[in-house]
Amino acid sequence: MPKSTVTFMCSECGGESLRWAGQCPHCHAWNTLQEFQVRKAGPGRKQAGAPSPPTGSRPIPLSEIESEAAPRRTLAWGELNRVLGGGVVPGSVVLVGGEPGVGKSTLLMHAAQQVAARGGRVLYASGEESPQQVRMRAARLGPLSSGILLLAETDLDAICEAIRAEAPEMAIVDSIQTVTDAGFEGGAGSVTQVRESAGRFMRLAKEIGVPIFLVGHVTKEGAIAGPRVLEHIVDTVLYLEGDRRQELRILRAMKNRFGSAEEIGVFAMGEAGLEEVPDPSAALLANAALTAPGTAVVVVLEGTRPLLIEVQSLVMIIAVLEKRASTKLERSDIFVNVAGGIRITEPAADLGLALSIYSNTRDSPLPDGLVAIGELGLAGEVRRVGQLDRRLQEAARHGLTRALIPAGSKAGRPAGLDVVEVRTLAEAISAAFSSPMKSGAFIREAEASVT
Ligand code: TYD
Ligand code: MG
């Protein structure tokens, strides 16, 4: 056993502590601190984690350094290339995180098939599933290729040796939480094992120029070390998100040493695996129940991409009569659903959501072709949002005909889109409904703020 010192590391956020505690002092998660061995950097042995420069390195004038050592290799899917920053960078280590079952293995098998389809070789090390299971999945996705080499292995040394020996165009390790280094204590998935393995893969990738993709499961329990423990080590961190019961999957760049960390790629999970969705707004609006009460369309920005999204609300009125009489939302339970399982965090969706709820309480749908853009202040004022031009263009491109925007916003007027500026929620309701109902909580709240 090598000499080591011990600290404690949170399996959720990767924060380090010198002492054990029941609660992580960094992210405040409970029972997530795990013993973490820091191997002493002895002679001939580099410290875990940090990528080491090749031995015998010397300082080089900046002007003599080649701009990009090796060009990126693009995959068949533009959605994947976009999130990677334009393609796969040789020698990079990419962590693909996500909850179990979201589609990480499927996504990476697609990538492997795309590399193999143009004659490249891929090494797929699987510690999660048997070779038969991996073969079955691959067969669902496309023709089986001899260019994909499967290695059923969890031993770190054995995987590294195989990558070195095969020198493939791409290597995939599924998952990092199954890999163990026999030289370290702690079972598979412990922070020590996960970090040591990732550090080794980093050094190997840099040394031989092979890009390595690591799958990392996100768990809520903290029983195994989550991907965040590795975020500082690897070059690129991508998270695959989506509701398992729905089709849409979003691959989100959280960190990228080789590109923007704001990009997203959109995919749909179907019978034959994933498909890329180059025009997500169209897909998101395709099944929209736009003529039903409680539905509104908003435009949110994901990185640089505007997405048209349908928000729905359901207002469960405790006393139906009360609903007919006036709008007393304090007596109601309100359920909000965002189409496609997308998480909206942007305040620009506020106005759409408020209109959706109002439309519900009035039991009448919002007009066809309407999109609502704006943040709501507590006094009912509609506040300006960023990148309005981009949002309006996306709405116009998808055939929406009327946009409510915050008053005073500077934006062009795309052809075919009737743009209406609104100052308050009350104005927005008047603009949205031809015969506005001058009662109800929103109206009263909004009118109070109108000067
Ligand atoms: P998987 O890639 O195994 O998820 P992860 O590696 O993130 O754990 O995907 C598993 C889910 O995807 C599973 O619920 C079944 C579904 N799926 C399909 O719907 N269609 C398909 O063609 C494939 C391969 C998987
Ligand atoms: Mg998997």
Q: Tell me: the pLDDT tens digits for 261-304?
A: 888 999 999 889 999 998 888 877 766 666 677 788 888 888 77
Atom of ligand 1 nearest to the CA of 244: 14
Cα of 178 vs centre of ligand 2, distance in Å, is 11
Lowest mean pLDDT among 8-22, 48-62, 382-396, 436-450: 436-450
Ligand 1 atom at minimum distance from 104 CA: 7
pLDDT tens digits for range 171-181: 999 999 999 99
* CA nearest ligand 1 atom 22, residue: 273
The pLDDT score that the predictor gives to residue 245 is: 73
pTM for the complete prediction?
0.76
The mean pLDDT value for 73-85 works out to 95
pLDDT at 222: 54
**Bridging pattern class, strands 236-241 and 248-256:** antiparallel
Long-range contacts of 386-393 (CB under 8 A, 24+ apart): 386/301, 386/348, 387/301, 387/306, 390/301, 390/304, 390/306, 391/299, 391/301, 391/306, 391/348, 392/299, 392/417, 392/419, 393/306
Residue 310 has pLDDT above 70, yes or no: yes
Output the pLDDT for position 425: 87
Q: Quick one: pLDDT at residue 443?
A: 43
Please state, in angstroms and rounded to a whole number, the distance separating the CA atoms of residues 357 and 335: 9
Per-residue model confidence (pLDDT) at position 323: 39
Reported as a pLDDT band with limits 50, 70 and 90, residue 246 is confident
Ligand 1 contacts CB of residue 273 (under 6 A): yes
- Residue 50 pLDDT level (bands cut at 50, 70, 90): very low
Q: What is the SS3 assignment for 85?
A: coil
Nearest CA to ligand 1 atom 13: 101
Quick one: pLDDT band at residue 328, thresholds 50, 70, 90?
low
Q: What is the mean pLDDT of residues 187-196?
A: 88
Section 25-40 average pLDDT: 83
> What SS3 state is found at 395?
helix
Q: What is the pLDDT of residue 138?
A: 96
Taking residues 397-413, report their average pLDDT: 91
Ligand 1 center from residue 103 Cα (angstroms): 5
CA 311 to centroid of chain Cα atoms: 19
Task: From residue 130, give the alpha-carbon distance in Å to each of 95, 377, 418, 450.
Answer: 22, 54, 57, 65
Q: How confident is the model over 303-332, as a mean pLDDT?
A: 62
Preceding peptide of 130 cis, ω within 30°: no
CB 308 within 8 A of CB 342: no
Phi, psi of 66, rounded to the nearest 5 degrees? -65, 145
Report which bound ligand comes closest to the CA of 240.
1
Q: Is the CB of 137 under 6 A from ligand 1?
A: yes
**Averaged pLDDT, 218-241:** 82
User: Where would I find the H helices in 305-406?
Assistant: 320-325, 350-362, 388-397
Question: Does ligand 1 come within 6 angstroms of the Cβ of 126?
Answer: no
Closest CA to 365 of 263, 281, 257, 293: 293
Mean pLDDT for 195-203 is 95
Q: Which atom in ligand 1 lies closest to the alpha carbon of residue 215?
A: 6
Q: Determine what percent of the chain is predicted with pLDDT higher than 90.
A: 45
For residues 391 and 400, the answer to whether their CB atoms sit within 8 Å is no
What does the pLDDT read at residue 374? 92
In b/e form, how buried is each residue of 212-233, taking b as 16+ CB within 10 angstroms?
A: bbbbbbbbeebebbbbbbbbeb
User: Is 100 touching ligand 1 by the criterion CB < 6 Å?
Assistant: yes
Q: What is the pLDDT of residue 183?
A: 86
Q: Is the pLDDT of residue 149 over 80?
A: yes
Tell me if 278 CB under 6 Å of ligand 1: no
pLDDT of residue 73: 92
- Looking at the predicted structure, is the pLDDT value of residue 335 above 50? yes
- For residues 373 and 388, the answer to whether their CB atoms sit within 8 Å is yes
Tell me, what's the pLDDT at 330?
A: 66
Residues shown for the chain: 451
Mean predicted confidence (pLDDT) in 382-404: 91
Least confident of 55-59, 94-98, 103-107, 276-280: 55-59
Distance CA(338)–CA(310), nearest Å, equals 6
Alpha-helical segments (H) within 209-330: 280-286, 320-325
DSSP code of 23? B
Measured distance between the N- and C-terminal CA atoms of the chain, rounded to whole angstroms: 75
28-37, 67-76, 312-321, 385-394: which range is least confident on average?
312-321
- Per-residue pLDDT averaged across 109-136, rounded? 96
Is the pLDDT assigned to residue 212 strictly greater than 70? yes
Q: What is the mean pLDDT of the chain?
A: 83
